[in-house]
A and B are shown apart, each in its own frame.
Chain A
Amino acid sequence: MSKQIEHWGKTKSLLWITLIIWAFFAFIIHLFGTSLNGSFPGAYYMAGQGAQLAFVILTFWFASRQNKIDEEFGFSEDD
């Protein structure tokens, strides 16, 4: 049972890291839109391309990390 508790602990830490990165690109960065705008349209960039690219990378990264955690404890479907 302790193996399961440890697995869930690691899963929860990964979730928090994922949610912090998510919140940064979803909310925080857009609060500074006016400062991002200079000769390059930074606010437009972050809302129309930057945040989306970050979400794609984050989702794939999360999937592979979570999979590694499952494998580490022998909880993946292939074991």
Chain B
Amino acid sequence: MLRLGDNFITSLNKVYGIYTLGFLGFVILMAILEVAGVSNTIIGWLFVAFTVLIYALIGVLSRTMQSSQYYVAGREVPAVYNGMATAADWMSGASFIAMAGGIYLKGYPYMGFLVGWTGGYVLVASLIAPYLRKFGCYTVPDFIGTRYGGNLPRICAVIILVVASFTYVTAQINGTGTVAARALQIPFEVGVWIGLAGILFCSMLGGMRAVTWTQVAQYIVLIIAYLIPVFWMSNKLGYGLIPHLAQFDAVSRVQELEGLLGVKELLPTAEAQAEAGKLAALKVGINDASATAMANWKFFTLVLCMMAGTASLPHVLMRYFTTASVKAARQSVGWSLLFICLLYLTAPALATFTKLSLLDPTVATSIIGKSISEVSNLEWIQQWSNVGFLKLVDGNGDGILQINEFFMRGDIVVLATPEMAGLPYVISGLVAAGGLAAAMSTADGLLLAIANALSHDLYYKVIDPKADTSRRLVVARVLLLFIGAAGAFVASLKLTSILGAVAWAFCFANSGLFFPLVLGVWWKRANKAGAVAGMIGGFGVGFWYLYMVQFGGMTPWYGIDGLRFGMIGMPVSLILMIVVSLMTEEPDQETQDMVDAIRVPKGKAVLAADH
């Protein structure tokens, strides 16, 4: 049967060029079908089925039985393509679906996520990734275990990795379920399992190799799907050709409208809010920079937690193990960030233009200030009210829709924008395919990170060091299946919102892993006892604080809420690691030589290519 051969790497530009043209052709074909009168449901199905089949096909063609291919894609992924794969790995359902909506509803303070989720890559490039690449490890616990020596640090790292990544992956499977349910008109619980099947097809047979090449394909779909509607809106509203440049006039206009419509004065009445439940009305200005010390502190802590989390999340770091060299790993971080910014720089523009479409009375699609009976007859209002994503509550009973009477879920900004702005349905199908690609690609990376840590670090390194390659790879696949099923099961319980779970994952990772990783490279004196104390202490205290704030009814200290509990875990981890390291013996000569070796790109890797 067909399988990707060695010449695949040399013809990447051709393969993905044809793929991109093919996808655009498919979108045009769907547009033609829509004009020809094919129903929306069928177009939605075709979008999802076509893209998921392509990913599964790439996954099957990339199957492998070699451990270096399975764990690190043979270390031959070019920097630019690894950048694209990392961008897809990184940008989750939260980035694609929730981010623009967050900026829409929560305004300027929310943009801390944008700063944190990009600036973290500066830390990845300068502090960690190139050194881990030189080390030659397969997984992040592989580095911790070898650098600090012994099974205890390795097991601590595995536990933190599993907790952080599993928290994150349930949010992604939840995202695939939400999108699949909407696009295919099926129940959410069924959507979750269909999403999981697609995810497993991409990763089971080919491990990291398969995930890499499907993630590149998924990046292309998600970026096209994110950009087209925003370009369309910017031009339709008459602000200019390039939304990224045109958005600033639109921001000024939105600020003007905020004054006219009373965004900050006209708050929802208690009864109206109770009726709307978890849905939210617009209460925050789009450009209200931090004016108080507390606002500045909250912005600062959010940015810091997200940055340190970026630099310690294993599914991101392990992408840089796949490049051909240390130099390529460093450049690849730059490419990742560039590809990520293509989407992240578009999110505020999307939020702003959506706001204009809804608020500006001179725009035909606006709803604020119109009569409630007229607005509730709009097709998209009805559709999204039916699934509980938005609600109109006439708080003052005057029959006119005011700003404090329109309640919605943030997710709607991306998913419903095409309908709100009056774009054809083919764009909605495209956005659904993009959201699915974003959630699936991140779930792929996370599931693989968990399964690899358990199969390589726990099973092979700790439980059965004599296991042969084929046995290890079978174990890895069986684990993938079980963890995926567990993730889908938890996701189907709908415990947390997409964004809450994502921010927790970042704080779990930075509380437990950030300093053991950074000091492992930058401080030779760091030893086993210090690393273990730093991991257990940071992670344990962070976990305790999150529990107390979220479920124990404790008042957060200095505004450090559940999104920012890394502000508690990280300092504990740093202090314990330094104090305990200094109180115990310095690492032996062999370990110090190992640190010297990873600090220069030249020379052999610390771990053999096939370990």
Contacts and interface: CB of A to CB of B under 8 A. Distances in A.
A67 B601 CA distance: 9
A41 B287 contact: yes
A62 B126 contact: yes
Interface residues of A, number: 46
Given A49-B348, A52-B115, A8 B599 contact: yes
B50 interface: no
A26 B338 CA distance: 17
Contacts of A30: 115, 289-290, 296, 299-300, 303
B251 interface: yes
A24 B606 CA distance: 35
Interface stretch (B2-10, B179-187, B325-333): B325-333
Interface residues of B, number: 51
Nearest to B290: A33
B365 to A, nearest CB: 23
Nearest to A31: B296
Contacts of B275: none
Interface in B204-245: 244
B330 A62 contact: yes
A19 B103 CA distance: 27
Contacts of B333: 59, 63
A27 B303 contact: yes
A27 B300 contact: yes
Contacts of B121: 55, 59
Given A31-B290, A77-B325, A53 B125 contact: no
A22 B122 contact: yes
Given A26-B303, A58-B122, A76-B327, A53 B341 contact: yes
Contacts of B296: 30-31
A52 B344 contact: yes
Contacts of B260: none
Contacts of A43: 108, 287, 289
A35 B341 CA distance: 25
B79 to A, nearest CB: 9
A56 B334 contact: yes
B334 A60 contact: yes
Contacts of B347: 48
A4 interface: yes
Interface in B285-304: 286-287, 289-291, 296, 299-300, 303-304
B316 interface: no
Contact of A70 (B112, B291, B601): B601
B436 interface: no
Nearest to B600: A75
B602 interface: yes
Contact of A63 (B127, B255, B304, B331): B331
A15 B126 contact: yes
B596 interface: yes
Contacts of B338: 56
A51 B115 contact: yes
A41 B252 CA distance: 7
Interface string A17-57: 01100100111001101101101110111011101110110
Interface string B121-133: 1110111001000
B111 interface: yes
Give the most central of B103, B300, B341, B600: most A CB within 10 Å.
Answer: B600
Contact of B348 (A15, A34, A44, A79): A44
A58 B121 CA distance: 10
B114 A47 contact: yes
B501 interface: no
A76 B602 CA distance: 5
A75 B596 CA distance: 12
A59 B344 CA distance: 17
A63 B348 contact: no
A56 B118 CA distance: 8
A7 B325 CA distance: 19
A79 B602 contact: yes
Interface string A65-79: 011001001111101
A62 B601 contact: no
Contact of A18 (B126, B334, B341, B344): B126
Interface string B338-361: 100100110110000000000000
A7 B123 CA distance: 20
Contact of B330 (A19, A36, A66): A66
A60 B338 CA distance: 10
Contacts of A7: 599-600
B112 A47 contact: yes
Contacts of B251: 41, 44
Nearest to B245: A49
Given A19-B122, A47-B112, 5 more contacts: A49-B345, A56-B341, A59-B121, A66-B130, A67-B327
Interface of B: 103, 108, 111-112, 114-116, 118-119, 121-123, 125-127, 130, 244, 248, 251-252, 255, 286-287, 289-291, 296, 299-300, 303-304, 307, 325-327, 330-331, 333-334, 337-338, 341, 344-345, 347-348, 596, 599-602
14 contacts: A7-B599, A26-B119, A41-B286, A49-B348, A51-B119, A52-B118, A53-B345, A56-B337, A58-B122, A59-B122, A70-B601, A70-B602, A75-B601, A76-B602
